[in-house]
Amino acid sequence: MSSSNSLGTSIVLIVLAIFVIVILIRSIRIVPQARAGIVERLGKYQRTLGPGLTILIPFVDRLLPLLDLREQVVSFPPQPVITEDNLVVSIDTVVYFQITEPRAATYEIANYIQAVEQLTTTTLRNVVGGLNLEEALTSRDQINGQLRGVLDEATGKWGIRVSRVELKAIDPPLSIQDSMEKQMRAERDRRAAILTAEGTKQSQILTAEGQRQAAILAAEGDAKASVLRADGEAQAIQRVFDAIHAGNPDQKLLAYQYLQTLPKIAEGDSNKLWIIPSEVGEALRGIGGVLGNIQPDGDGTPDRGATPAAGQPSPGV
């Protein structure tokens, strides 16, 4: 009898221990950082738990699933949108939002993720529907700003703040993509042709400028060379003239110098006519008379002491 009583007592103690453990487990809650918890007491909102340790009343208080207070990023699947020029484009959107009021996010909306997605889709169709394809492709910042303004205003009552909305991709129809690629290729070819023509023009301008500068420098060099050459020739003529006057030459010497110069004059192919001054002719006749008066000696050498012919003056006269 005593053994059965002790066994019953042990079972009661075990049950009580399990009950106490269950109560402790249900009473103590630890909320992590950047999380929030909603506590309901007997089905009614009681308080919002912040990070840390908290005590609940077992079987009276109930802790709802914790909410993440960090900024969340949700990427929605591509949505078909009709532009103002009746073209269907596929647009991918990314929404950045954050829960600011845990109570409103719990009781004001059933599924805030789905609500943000649907609101983004409808707002995107309204905004892009008033733009043509080219404006939609080039006005992403404008579209992002309008989407953010509409979403932030609508989700404010849900305790959610939309910080940013981004258009991840805008894909026009395949036929439009081919036309756009052809247009872009033609535009690149046009720009390349313009750049090539501009480069050729600049090259020709620089080449002509270089040739002009070279011609100017060459002409200046030729002019300076001609001046120097003329100065040299003038100085040479002046020196020859001074030397001739200093030596007091007669007509016979001048005729002899002219004879020495004749072979050089005859070297050119175009020299067909020689002009001999009258003074040179008289000098040549004088030289001929002198040469005719020179008689050879018995050894065959000219006799420079021969008596001049009658009527001819002696060399010393």
Q: What is the pLDDT of residues 33-79, one digit of tens each?
A: 999 999 999 889 999 999 998 888 888 888 899 999 999 999 888 88
Residue that has been written with the tokens 């080449």 in this structure: 207
Task: Write down which residue in 172, 193, 226 finishes a domain.
Answer: 172
Lowest-confidence segment of 10-24, 88-102, 284-298 by average pLDDT? 284-298
Residues 161 and 107 placed together within one structural domain of the fold: yes
Query: Do 109 and 122 share a structural domain?
Result: yes
Note the pLDDT of residue 32: 92
pLDDT score at 281:
59
For residue 118, CA distances in Å to 75, 77, 88, 114, 163 come to 12, 11, 19, 6, 17
Looking at the fold, whether 141 and 94 belong to one and the same domain comes out as yes
Decide if 200 is inside a domain.
no
Q: What local confidence, expressed as pLDDT, does residue 173 receive?
A: 76
User: In the prediction, which pLDDT does 300 show?
Assistant: 46
Q: Is 284 exposed, middle or buried (0-12, 13-18, 19+ CB in 10 A)?
A: middle
What pLDDT, on the 0 to 100 scale, is given for residue 285? 62
Mean pLDDT of the 98-104 span: 93
At residue 130, the pLDDT reads 86
Does residue 105 sit in the same domain as residue 18? no
- The pLDDT assigned to 266 comes to 62
In terms of domains, do 54 and 75 share one?
no
Same domain, 93 and 113: yes
Considering the domain architecture, whether residues 108 and 161 belong to the same structural domain is answered as: yes
Rounded mean pLDDT of the chain? 79
Q: How large a percentage of the chain has pLDDT more than 70?
A: 74
End-of-domain residue from the set 172, 198, 228: 172
Domain-located, residue 316: no
Q: Indicate which CATH number applies to the domain containing 144.
A: 3.30.479.30
- Is residue 75 domain-shared with residue 166, that is, in the same domain? yes
Q: Looking at the structure, do residues 94 and 117 belong to the same domain, yes or no?
A: yes
Q: Is residue 259 domain-resident? A: no
Measured CA to CA, the distance from residue 124 to residue 151 in angstroms comes to: 10
Domain interval for residue 63: 2-67
Domain count for the chain = 2
Residues 58 and 151 placed together within one structural domain of the fold: no
Residues 76 and 150 in one domain: yes
Nearest to 144 by CA among 181, 190, 92, 107: 92
Residue 182 lies in a domain: no
My answer on whether 89 and 144 are in the same domain is: yes
Picking from 36-45, 214-223, 281-290, which range would have the lowest pLDDT averaged per residue? 281-290
Range of lowest pLDDT (128-132, 217-221, 287-291): 287-291
Determine the pLDDT at residue 271. Answer: 55
Residue 307 contacts residue 292 (beta carbons within 8 Å) = no
Residue positions counted in the chain:
317
Q: Is the dihedral of CA 105, 110, 113, 119 positive or negative?
A: negative
Residue 213 lies in a domain: no
pLDDT in tens, 238-285: 777 677 677 666 666 666 666 666 666 666 665 555 555 555 556 556
Q: Give domain status of residue 258, yes or no.
A: no
pLDDT over 60 at 169, yes or no? yes
Least confident window among 26-40, 71-85, 177-191:
177-191
Return the pLDDT at 67: 93
Give 110: exposed, middle or buried? Use CB within 10 Å, 0-12, 13-18, 19+.
exposed
User: What does the pLDDT average to over 101-124?
Assistant: 90
| Residue 11 within any structural domain of the chain | yes
Measure CA 253 to chain center.
82
**Among 85-94, 177-186, 224-233, 276-285, where is mean pLDDT lowest?**
276-285
Whether 32 is covered by a domain: the verdict is yes
Q: How many CB atoms lie within 10 A of CB 175?
A: 9
Q: What pLDDT, on a 0 to 100 scale, did the predictor assign at position 292? A: 53
Last residue of a domain, one of 13, 33, 67: 67
